Amino acid sequence: MTSYFDDLETRSPDAREAAQLAGLNAQLAKYAIDPLESLGDLKGLPVLRKSELSKRQAAMPPFGGLPVSNIAHVFQSPGPIYEPGGNSHDWWRMGRFLNACGIGPGDIVQNCFGYHLTPAGMIFENGARAVGAVVLPAGTGQTELQVTAARDVGVTAYAGTPDYLKIILEKADEMGVSLGITRAAVGGGALFPSLRAWYKDRGITCLQCYATADLGNIAYESPAQEGMILDEHMIVEIVTPGTGDPVAPGEVGEVVVTSLNPDYPLIRFATGDLSAILPGASPCGRTNTRIKGWMGRADQTTKIKGMFVRPEQVAQLVAKHDSIARARVVASREGEMDVMTVRIETGASDASAFENSIAEVLKLKGRVELVPPGGLPRDGLVIEDTRTYD
């Protein structure tokens, strides 16, 4: 296996900009938008936000009238928002990240991303095929069976959320099973330095990517572990949150992405995530721009255990019970695990009465804390993230 996935990763900035401008103008033509003279002219086009895309999809299902083509799957994410998926070579461009992780022919990847409705499982499976690896489509849950399967088939690499591998390894220890996992490709949540160090102590190199269901892989770590390198088929802008105005170089802002995937052309798609451009190039030799990685949300939407929790969902929970006056979701950490606590302002005394609704509406199980009427702060927050990312 070569060090780089292809020659695109080491091309000159001028060659990259010229190719991306040509790709961008091909995408714009599908919307009958006149070609641009430079990538900098993108700032004059409107930003597409998820809320707008959701409304467009409701009016023109399933994809809101966007020029989608050559797809093999339709996925559903919370909202709901529907995403197309293809099965052509490296459709989501995840192979580039897996190659950077050192995964390739001869590897068996235990893919612990979900395959049910959401695209994450297929995104990583498609990438594994692109690098010639074999996939164990494990999905989530049933940890003891995960350990048994990993041992029996000789799994060498893991793909999934950052903290689930720790659960698998600890279960293997409990069962007295030795596993041969030496590389981990993770996403869907923050990789905390303490957790990366824990894996390193067990002989596992763990790298992370930044990807979304709508866009696929946006940026990824290389063995240099100095920021995240932008994918070669993405144009990324960092803008002032809530606007389309680029921030000064190095400043933190919202990540806005233009995809050069001809089958699903998203122009200036606002991710709602915060990041910043890093100066210079990666020591690994890849020449594309780097970002600092995920630095939080531009709005209150928060990712917990790999799933987004949105303010609209909290509002749905409140509306579901007349006895709930207000609610606040608190994201925290215990050890290396995400914890969700739902604080409910109510006169009720039975917390279990709300557990089923929380799992149904928020798509996650969490702790329930009842507070008396007037007990929640009136500061406008419905989702509070107390985790630190240092």
- Residue 218's pLDDT band (cuts 50, 70, 90): very high
What pLDDT score does 87 carry?
A: 85
- Residue 380's pLDDT band (cuts 50, 70, 90): low
On the question of pLDDT at 1 being above 70, the answer is no
Whether the link from the prior residue into 84 is cis, omega within 30° of 0, is: no
- Residue 32's pLDDT band (cuts 50, 70, 90): very high
Beta-carbon contacts of 26 under 8 Å, excluding residues fewer than 6 positions away, are: 262
Beta carbons of 146 and 153 less than 8 angstroms apart:
no
Percent of the chain with pLDDT over 70: 98
The rounded distance, in Å, linking the Cα atoms of 57 and 373 is 38
What are φ and ψ of residue 231, in 5° steps?
Answer: -65, 150
- For the stretch 95-135, pLDDT in tens is 999 999 999 999 999 999 999 899 999 999 999 999 999 99
On the question of pLDDT at 7 being above 90, the answer is yes
What pLDDT score does 390 carry?
A: 59
Beta carbons of 235 and 222 less than 8 angstroms apart:
no
Report the SS3 class of residue 358.
Answer: helix
- Residue type for position 331: A
Give just the sign of the alpha carbon dihedral 201, 102, 158, 153. Answer: negative
What pLDDT score does 237 carry?
A: 97
Report the SS3 class of residue 220.
Answer: strand
Give just the sign of the alpha carbon dihedral 303, 305, 307, 310. Answer: negative
Which DSSP state fits 247? P
What pLDDT score does 300 carry?
A: 75
What pLDDT score does 315 carry?
A: 83
- Please calculate the CA angle 162-386-316 and round it to the nearest 5 degrees: 90
What pLDDT score does 109 carry?
A: 98
